[in-house]
Chain A
Amino acid sequence: MARNAFLSLTLALAATATWAQAPAAPSPERATQLIRMVRQDCGSCHGMRLTGGLGPALTREALAAKPADYLAAVIIHGIPGTPMPPWSAMLSDAEALWIAQQLSTGFPEERKNPAP
């Protein structure tokens, strides 16, 4: 229930004030995993190039009006009534915020030649 409240637009917008607080950046290994996860697994719905599909586009342009805290909340809690699931079982709050910030600034490409 607290989750739904957190999702509410008002709170998400209010949270914009705090998004300058950078979370601890993930380790390089974890960052690689997260980038792969977003490209490949979130890509099931949002497209590998994040241009959208069953889920909306996640390009920098498409997300221009969405604060990173709001995006992080959506990642962690999902959006009830839509196919967007909560990813809290697989991501920490800090990782979600890091992903959200990366999305807001244009998401990194995967490294070439990933693990064999």
Chain B
Amino acid sequence: MKRRSLLSLAAGTSLLAGGCASTQPAASGDAAPILQGTGDLGVVIERARGALTLVNTSRREVTGRIEGLGDLSHASVVFSRDARFAYVFGRDGGLTRVDLLTQRITHRAMQAGNSIGGAISADGSLVVAQNYTPGGIKVFDAATLELLADVPATMAGGQRSRVVGLADLPQRRFVYSLFDAAAICIADCSNPRQPRVTTFENIGQQPYDALLSPNGRTYIAGLFGEDGLAMLDLWDDKPQVRRILSGYGRGEKPLPVYKMPHLRGWAIAGRHAYLPAIGRHEVLIVDTGSWQEVGRIPVAGQPVFVMARPDGRQVWVNFSVPDYNRVQVIDTPSQRVVQTLEPGKAVLHMEFTPRGESVWISCRDDNRVQVYDTHTRELQGTLHVDAPSGIFFTARAQRMGF
């Protein structure tokens, strides 16, 4: 109760401040109340309530709240090129376009039965959703959410595969993996109403997620069905899937995996990639020149997100249940865990501010987001948010693969 009134107060004051400056009440939404940039804005998913908390990362405060977004378990968000609009992909197939300045939903479409995320093209014109049910991708006009193309992920028997690891590539292309079909696909949407799909088969068993390197060159899919990863060099004239780290856990019995790791953390720092080992309490270090394993770092549990601070100096790791009260910080020059933090119960996600001076950490079961200074690792602030999960800042608009 107290929490909620605090939230609505915070949301109310910012609107009110705008209202005072204009002759019209801010609620009418016609007049922009105050001039404001979007580079320090972001959203936090309130998964249980199907709502978004809007935040400002300079002031470290809640600026508003938007409800009515449906089932937001495993929701993800991409941003328009001008970093004004957030596209929210809900579990229930809802795709919602939210204006961060007017704090309103502008468009909403139910596009699938079960969905886990999406991507936006570099030119900002296309939004693509990756779906479990029906398995495939769908291409939308980013301005109107008009459906432009439905691309089923069809397998040999005519059944559809669930799609994971979707990322945008240059030239209105999108790359994704098929969990059920051991395949990676590239959809060229230069003609968005008729995408052309190239499929790479036999990439390895059960790709569960993937990442695109910051320069857009390398796409790596993690494999649940075997120890190893599938890699595609997208700068090759004829890209071919290469298996890397095959059998990295050979002879070891994997631990139960209570939550699938997420690879989309930009965990490439300097010349190394840092990847969650599946079924092991380890972060794997891979040399991005040779793509050989060069080390492993023991960590406090099963890694879920292994995320490089934007400058690559640190890698932050959170864990699956039952170790999800902890976050560990790896110093990349020494490749050692230098700190273990306990931000709160059920840490689900982390997001760095654009230049990495702070990290925001969602603690679902404490109903709060903790903000840390990444240099001193001291707590800078706490925001009350109802069961927060994903945190997404608008700087993602300027990154490939996000």
Contact = CB atoms under 8 A, between A and B. Distances in A.
Interface residues of A, number: 27
B interface majority secondary structure: loop
A36 B387 CA distance: 11
Interface in B352-377: 364-367
A52 B132 contact: yes
B74 A53 contact: yes
A36 B339 CA distance: 29
Contacts, number: 75
A interface majority secondary structure: loop
Given A47-B73, A85-B256, A53 B365 contact: no
B15 interface: no
B260 A45 contact: yes
B1 interface: yes
B179 interface: yes
Contacts of B321: 37, 41, 90
A44 B48 CA distance: 12
Contact of A49 (B73, B208, B224): B73
Contact of A78 (B74, B206, B256): B256
A28 interface: no
Contact of A47 (B91, B162, B208): B91
Interface in B48-74: 48, 71, 73-74
A115 B73 contact: no
A54 B73 contact: no
A39 to B, nearest CB: 8
Given A113-B1, A114-B365, A115-B365, A51 B71 contact: yes
B114 interface: yes
Given A53-B74, A54-B179, A90-B321, A44 B259 contact: yes
A83 B224 contact: yes
Contacts of A52: 114, 132-133
A116 B114 CA distance: 30
Interface of A: 36-37, 40-41, 43-45, 47-49, 51-54, 78, 81, 83, 85-87, 89-90, 110, 113-116
7 contacts: A40-B365, A48-B71, A48-B73, A52-B114, A54-B132, A54-B162, A114-B365
Interface of B: 1, 3, 47-48, 71, 73-74, 91-92, 114, 116, 132-133, 162, 164, 179, 206, 208, 224-225, 256-260, 321-322, 346, 364-367, 387
